[in-house]
Amino acid sequence: MIKVTTFACGGIAIGVLVSHTIADGISLSVFHKGWAATARNKACEDVVCPNFDASSIFIQNGAYSREAVMTALSKPCKSGRCIVRRIVFDASAIASLKTKATSSSVQNPTRVEVVSAFLWKCTMTAFNGTSGVQRPTFITHAVNLRRRADPPFMESSMGNITWGTGALCTAEEIDLVCMVSKLREAITKVNVDFVKNLQGNGGFFKLWELLKARTGAVSSMAFSCGMDYIGFTSWCNFGAYDIDFGWGKPTWVSHVGATGDSETVFRSRIYLMDTRSGDGIEAWVLLEKDDMTMLAQDQKLLNCLRFFGS
């Protein structure tokens, strides 16, 4: 669904809603870039066209029903009422996080790794504050499989071609350096062999096994309230601010996930976006109300920020 809103000042907002089954963040950005280039009357060969070959790489298997797969996908976590806050890290905040997070195991932590690990840490502290117990917290981070395949798939391959790689942090391990290295390790696991496993005729079975294993591990602990969960997605470096419909670059590109009133499947989620200048990160954080109130009082977080808002 696409909604265009025009304002009295002459500004335009374009809202897009898409099913995750059909498109992930990369697909959506390819669609936007192709659409904008077409609107600017670019010559056909300069327009990036969506490519629909993915279904011949990742082959569907009729033995597993869509319902069963969706249940496996959505089972791990409890649902609940979330509120959304936008938290902005500017370049200097990120530089100081990188200094703190660098270690012999990860010598060059990325912008996304340090902000993710820092928010993971602050959110765990908030969970402890509201519940009075420091439970282990499992995170998933969505990894773009296109770049990890050999040869890489085209960026313009449409579909949900991501995998949420997981990492667990216990109460004793709450430390930025440790969390960055756990995250790096989890992302590194999604390598050429991992993607190869999911391709071809046997791929769907492998995906099913992976989903079951992840769901089993998470749900047994989550349902007994033994563990907390945060789902991370990064849309950084997707070139969102290069999308030009002919009126110049966008003033603001945001990811408005679920709104305050909606019931979300995953209780806690964090979406990372580039800031307009390209060197900062705008985090859209969805947490349960009490957890958010607690997070908003975290002095370490507030000290590091340009903006903590609604």
Ligand X SMILES: *[C@@H]1O[C@H](CO)[C@@H](O)[C@H](O)[C@H]1NC(C)=O
Smallest gap, in angstroms, from Cβ of residue 88 to ligand X? 25
Whole-number Å distance between alpha carbons of 114 and 94: 7
8 Å CB contact between 40 and 245: yes
Nearer to ligand X, 32 or 121 (CB): 121
255 is catalytic: no
CB burial of 120-141 (b: ≥16 within 10 Å; e: otherwise) equals bbbbbbbbbbbeeebbbbbbbb
Active-site hit among 20, 53, 150, 175:
20
Min CB(266)–ligand X separation in Å: 8
Which of 110, 162, 234, 264 forms a contact with ligand X (CB under 6 A)?
A: 162
Active site residue 244: yes
Q: Which is nearer to ligand X, 55 or 99 (CB)?
A: 55
**Which residue stretch of 6-14, 106-114, 161-169, 284-292 sits at the interface with ligand X (rule: CB under 6 A)?**
161-169
Among 39, 171, 192, 256, binds ligand X (CB under 6 A): 171
Given a contact cutoff of 8 angstroms between Cβ atoms, the answer to whether 123 and 300 are in contact is: no
Selected range binding ligand X among 37-45, 80-88, 95-103, 126-134, rule: CB under 6 A: 126-134
Interface with ligand X, residue 142, by CB under 6 A: yes
- Four-CA torsion 227, 127, 272, 168, nearest 10 degrees: -30
163: contact with ligand X by CB under 6 A: yes
Name the β-bridge partners of 292.
Answer: none
Q: Is 73 in the site for ligand X (CB under 6 A)?
A: yes
Q: In terms of Cα–Cα distance, which of 124, 114, 88 is closest to 287? A: 124
Residue 131 interacts with ligand X (CB under 6 A): yes or no:
no
Catalytic residue among 90, 244, 279, 290: 244
Nearer to ligand X among residue 74 and residue 99 (C-beta): 74
Q: Determine which residue in the list 12, 13, 20, 237 makes contact with ligand X, applying CB under 6 A.
A: 20
Binding-site member from 159, 164, 203, 250 for ligand X (CB under 6 A): 164
What's the Cα-to-Cα distance from 93 to each of 109, 279, 280, 282, rounded to whole Å? 14, 10, 8, 12
Segment contacting ligand X by CB under 6 A, of 158-166, 220-228, 237-245, 250-258 = 158-166
Residue in 137, 160, 181, 268 binding ligand X, rule: CB under 6 A: 160
Give the Cα separation of 192 and 307 in Å (integer).
38
Q: Assess 243 for contact with ligand X (CB under 6 A).
A: no
Tally the C-alpha atoms within 13 A of residue 301's C-alpha that lie toward its C-beta. 26
- Cα(228)–Cα(51) distance, rounded to whole angstroms? 38
Residue 83-102 contact track with ligand X, rule CB under 6 A, x = bound: --------------------
- Residue 83's DSSP bridge partners are 287
Give the residue with the Cβ less far from ligand X, 174 or 186. 174
Peptide bond preceding 151: is omega within 30 degrees of 0, i.e. cis?
yes
Please give the positions annotated as active site: 20, 244
Give the binding site for ligand X (CB under 6 A). 20-21, 73, 128, 132, 134, 142, 160, 162-164, 171, 174
